[in-house]
Amino acid sequence: MTGKTRISQGAVAAIILFITLVTRMGGNIFLPSLPKIASEFGIDKAQATLNINLYTIALALSFAFLGPLTDILKKRTLLMYGSIACMTSYLLCGLAVNIYMIDAGRLILAAGSGLIIITAQTWIGERSGKDELLGRLAWFSLLVALAPMLAPVIGGVVTDYFSWRWNFGLMLILTLFVIIIIFLIKSREEEKPPGKVNLNPIILLKTYREIILNTALFRISLVILTLFMLQGAFLAFSSFLLIDDMGLTASQFGLLSLIFAGSMLVGRFPTMFLEKRFSIRQVMLFNIVVVVISIAGSLVYYQIMGSHTVVEIVFFMTLMRLGFSGLAILGMRNCMFLDPARKGTISGLYSFLNHTSGWLGVIITQVFYQMNLISRSIYNITLIISLVIIAIGIYLFLRAYPEISDLLENREEPSEAKGQVSILQTGKYED
């Protein structure tokens, strides 16, 4: 580590955000090319989207099981390992001669991406006070949410004017640049010595079980988890819905992502503004109402008009993302305040739940395609399912809020959390 250029913590933060941006782009840049990949390899839609399924669940598992590494290894080392895994993935996918090579490459990409993202998120949590945490998380979650939507813009152009393989070639070049940056830099602030954490998978699972049973994490997050499920489903069927069924080109499909990305960006600012003036409960409910109006509006439009249109889908999905954007950063903030003594552990679990929900959305799409449903029908059914679960989530949130209002509103920390030691550190667990 000696001999490396030392830079300020602000510059380190900017570099970490850039690495997060590149990492998240890699997961979705090839989405506009799915129809061409399916055609070239002679496979059906279900098999073509299987890699999305594999990537999503592998990413979720990587959050859960790689998260504790942030407590025993230096952040710079973890970022290097994750980036090398991503680079290996892009090389394998770019040279693929069948869909199985892409599936394998996407599994490697998920492991590398999960390690990078949870490392970056932990870095922010450890170096942020309560007053600045929401703002920093907003920038981090902005990139986490925007990059997958901006990536198809680039991917669509690359697919139309070059080849679907060059999507992976471009990401290979960007990731190599990231590795060079990580190798050259060193923070001005020395990292804390590696801690001692028990990585026994059984102990880890018991820790997560304890958090789920003894905190309100699931009850206050069900609405957000549902929106991640809807997002996963939309990512899986959107290219077939808008390209195959509605006649858009890959480039046009990619450009629509700019609108979705803009809504995710804009949605952060009302939440950050309202959070300083109203209670967390009021801000949460405001965003939930926006989401419910958007989902119900699309369903009502279909009932009245008898069909969906590109403009209508884009309008209501943009509105949905405005509310989803605010809920996403509130959810990340709330989970850290819910158990201040175990920010890293609970953040890993929360990320796992979010991405598992997205994976369930992909699974639902896979099942519907296996049932030979058309993309428009899948869109309607996923909206109905989401609306029902959101209604349940609103009820659970309102029931749980009185118990944890002091925590969520940042009025005090629970006395039992101060000095609390995770069973990940002790290796002991009591039922």
pLDDT of 100:
87
Residue 47 DSSP class:
H
pLDDT of 71:
63
Query: pLDDT below 50 — which residues of the chain?
Result: 1-3, 188-190, 193-194, 413-431
pLDDT of 190:
47
pLDDT of 127:
64
The dihedrals phi and psi of 5, each to the nearest 5 degrees, come to: -70, 125
* Helices and strands (H and E) in the chain: how many: 16, 2
Residue among 160, 309, 145 at smallest CA distance from 242 = 309
CB 91 within 8 A of CB 172: yes
Residue among 360, 362, 356 at smallest CA distance from 60 = 356
Residue among 266, 352, 189 at smallest CA distance from 344 = 352
Please give the Cα distance from 325 to 142 (Å, whole number).
Answer: 8
Please give the Cα distance from 319 to 313 (Å, whole number).
Answer: 10
Please give the Cα distance from 98 to 31 (Å, whole number).
Answer: 17
Residue 297 has a CB neighbour count (10 Å cut-off) of 16
Please give the Cα distance from 179 to 126 (Å, whole number).
Answer: 23
Who contacts 18 (Cβ-Cβ below 8 Å, separation ≥6)? 178, 181
CB 408 within 8 A of CB 340: no
pLDDT of 419:
42
**The 3-state secondary structure of 81-133, one letter per residue:** HHHHHHHHHHHHHHCCCCHHHHHHHHHHHHHHHHHHHHHHHHHHHHCCCHHHH
Token pair belonging to 329: 């950063």
List the Cα angle 34/40/41 in 5-degree steps.
Answer: 90
Please give the Cα distance from 19 to 15 (Å, whole number).
Answer: 6
Query: Whole-prediction pTM value?
Result: 0.70
User: Which residues in 7-24 are b (16+ Cβ under 10 Å) and which e?
Assistant: eeeeebbebbbebbbbbb
Domains of the chain: 5-426 (1.20.1250.20)
Who contacts 372 (Cβ-Cβ below 8 Å, separation ≥6)? none
Token pair belonging to 299: 């369903």
